[in-house]
Amino acid sequence: MTRPQIPSLVERLYPSTRYAGRGVCIAFIDAGFFPHTDLRLPRGRIRAYVDVTREEPVPRELLERKAGSWHGTMTSCCAAGNGYLSGGRYRGLASESDVVLIKAKEDDEDVRGEHLVSALGVPIRHAGLGVRVASVSLGVNPDDPRAAEVDRAVDAAVKQGIVVVVAAGNVPERAPAPPASAKGAITVGGWDDGGTLQGGDDKPWPSSHGAGKPDLLAPSAWVPAPMVPGTLEAREAHALYDLLGVLEEMSLEPSRMTAIAESAADLLERVTARIALQKYIARDYQHVDGTSFAAPIVASVVAQMLEANPALGPADVRKGLLQTARKLDGVPDEIQGAGLVQPAAAVEWAERSAR
């Protein structure tokens, strides 16, 4: 039985093949992280780990191996992971960039404005880390007492030369909340390309929009990302793929299948269905969705632009991204902003700007 393989994100985005974020550091602000192999081998690219929810700094060795750290692990790796466990197939566009991982949410608690303010200040307080891009996949409720400060923290980071890319959110009935509402943020809504190379199944992702946001769109469905090793999901994926391999091998030897043909065929169907339901795409990877992943994809394009032209500032990057985005037919401007990000065109714009 041949399993259909959905094209990887790199195959679907047609990015520049000459740039991978070399020499660029991206800070990811999220709920929790695990030091995944895709960020550590063959070269360790995690410059620092900061947990702003604690009073005392937390050493990098305390990055969490638990289910709650999946979100930040996946957002950082879909942008900057090198796909080490997949032979490079499920790599991000900034697979050679360095990263700073900033935890800004307490376990089992809502995102708090004070934590996001502190997280957005990390690249400024620790300028030696060399952060050029901040990717934020968290937001606060508009009624958070420090919500306005979160937007001001974004603008302060931008004034210091940091490109801040923020997920718009997944509540289409509501305008993007801080930090996605900040004027200086490059706010990213979602697009669903159906996981295919053809355009016939494309449609907008149900993103938050309004008040002039989002600024543009990026893929937010069928995004490959690694699972946190040791979690139930990761263990299940390994077991299912092991079993699937055995069943497929048995199907090639009719003598082994004769006595158990019916039950084996049923088991094969059930295993395949479970893999599809859980969106597993390999032993160590699964598809994820939401604007949380659209934002880091744009951040990875920004890293390519900055590698191509390190002199670009935040205003330049915004201009390049928006001018090269592809306007989508039949999609209201308030939903798509400038349109769908075009990675190769944005990098070419950056190269031209350097001449």
Hey, where are the domains in the chain? 9-227+286-353, 232-282
Averaged over 242-261, what is the pLDDT?
Answer: 72
In angstroms, rounded to a whole number, what is the distance separating the alpha carbons of residues 203 and 275? 24
Averaged over 318-339, what is the pLDDT?
Answer: 97
pLDDT digits (tens, 9 = 90+) for 193-217: 999 888 778 999 999 999 999 999 9
In angstroms, rounded to a whole number, what is the distance separating the alpha carbons of residues 72 and 30? 5
pLDDT digits (tens, 9 = 90+) for 159-175: 999 999 999 999 999 99
pTM: 0.94
**Rg, Å, the chain Cα set:** 21
> Both tokens of residue 38?
């895709």
DSSP string of 270-331? HHHHHHHHTTEEETTEEEE-SHHHHHHHHHHHHHHHHHH-TT--HHHHHHHHHHHSBPPTTS
Averaged over 108-136, what is the pLDDT?
Answer: 95
User: If you ran DSSP here, which 8-state letter would residue 213 be given?
Assistant: B
Least confident of 11-25, 48-62, 183-197, 279-293: 48-62
Q: What is the pLDDT of residue 249?
A: 76
User: If you ran DSSP here, which 8-state letter would residue 2 be given?
Assistant: P
pLDDT digits (tens, 9 = 90+) for 36-65: 999 999 999 999 999 999 876 555 555 555
214 upstream amide cis, omega within 30 of 0: yes
Q: Could you tell me which CATH class the domain 9-227+286-353 is placed in?
A: alpha beta
pLDDT > 90: percent of the chain? 81
Burial class (CB in 10 A: 0-12, 13-18, 19+), 329: exposed
Three-state SS string over 220-265 comes to CCCEEEECCCCCHHHHHHHHHHHHHHHHHHHHCCHHHHCCCHHHHH
**Run of H or E including 216:** strand 216-219
Confidence at 68, pLDDT banded by 50, 70, 90: low
Confidence at 1, pLDDT banded by 50, 70, 90: very low
Q: What is the pLDDT of residue 29?
A: 98
